[in-house]
Amino acid sequence: MKPETALNVALVGLGFGAEFIPLYLHHPEVASLTLCDSNEDKLAMQGDRYEVHRRCPHLEEILADESIDAVHLVTPIPLHVEQTLAVLAAGKHCTCTVPMATSLDGLRAIIAAQQRSGKNYMMMETAVYCREFLFAKELVEQGVIGKLQFLRGAHYQDMEGWPPYWAGLPPFWYGTHALAPLFALADARAEKEGVLELLLLLRRWRPDQ
């Protein structure tokens, strides 16, 4: 029996996003799941695989559906800001895969939209749920490590099997994967806008320049 507060969720983007389907199907506070992808073959394949019957090929249909409470965007990076703003404007909770935006203007626009909407927004930083982080977190909480004095993070990702265009992306698109676990372990936040400016500068850097 699902609680009355259970949410009707839409998952948009079924490439890597398909990995989340079983999580939503088994989550006790998700009442229903709708799948969305503009590639109708992919939509049919994943829908059939997981026996999810609520499907639509267009985000606009999701936004217009008043029964849907929350939208999870796993879509191409250039669409993140535009789609996040549309979801919040439609009065729905929104979570979006990283990066949240690729400019300070984009970040500010999303923050303002979230505040106007009163809905929840989450940047889906998954590194704080990986087994390595959870193990380190347990060591910190048990006092095994002792007082944290200095933290340094790095993120290595096996790109085998990923679309070839990923190899041409600027470095540091996924700086959150290296930084978020550190902030979480230290129970701290980035406190100065200069940090964001540095990250965005690093994203624009190319090793051949």
- On the question of pLDDT at 164 being above 60, the answer is yes
pLDDT one-digit tens code per residue, 30-89:
999 999 999 999 999 999 999 999 999 999 999 999 999 999 999 988 899 999 999 999
Residue 136 CB neighbours (<10 A): 17
Beta bridge partners of 10: 34, 71
Q: Which domains does the chain have, with CATH numbers?
A: 7-124 (3.40.50.720), 127-204 (no CATH)
Residue 89: partners with Cβ closer than 8 Å, 6 or more residues away: 113, 117
pLDDT one-digit tens code per residue, 119-160:
999 999 888 888 999 999 999 999 998 888 888 888 777 777
Q: Return d(Cα 57, Cα 39) in angstroms, integer.
A: 7
Q: Which residue has the higher pLDDT, 57 or 196?
A: 57
SS3 103: coil
pTM: 0.82
Q: For position 85, what pLDDT does the model report?
A: 98
Q: For position 104, what pLDDT does the model report?
A: 87
β-pairing, 7-12 vs 93-97, is unpaired
- Residue 117's nearest CA partner among 85, 87, 88, 84 is 88
Q: Return d(Cα 106, Cα 82) in angstroms, integer.
A: 9
- On the question of pLDDT at 28 being above 90, the answer is yes
Q: Return d(Cα 104, Cα 93) in angstroms, integer.
A: 22
Q: Which residue has the higher pLDDT, 5 or 122?
A: 122
Residue 67: partners with Cβ closer than 8 Å, 6 or more residues away: 8
Q: For position 5, what pLDDT does the model report?
A: 87
- On the question of pLDDT at 170 being above 70, the answer is no
Residue 208: pLDDT band (50, 70, 90) is very low
Q: For position 199, what pLDDT does the model report?
A: 56
Backbone φ, ψ for residue 72 (5° rounding): -110, 115
Give Cα separations from 21 to 1, 24, 94, 155 (angstroms): 20, 5, 16, 25
- On the question of pLDDT at 190 being above 80, the answer is no
Q: Return d(Cα 23, Cα 25) in angstroms, integer.
A: 6
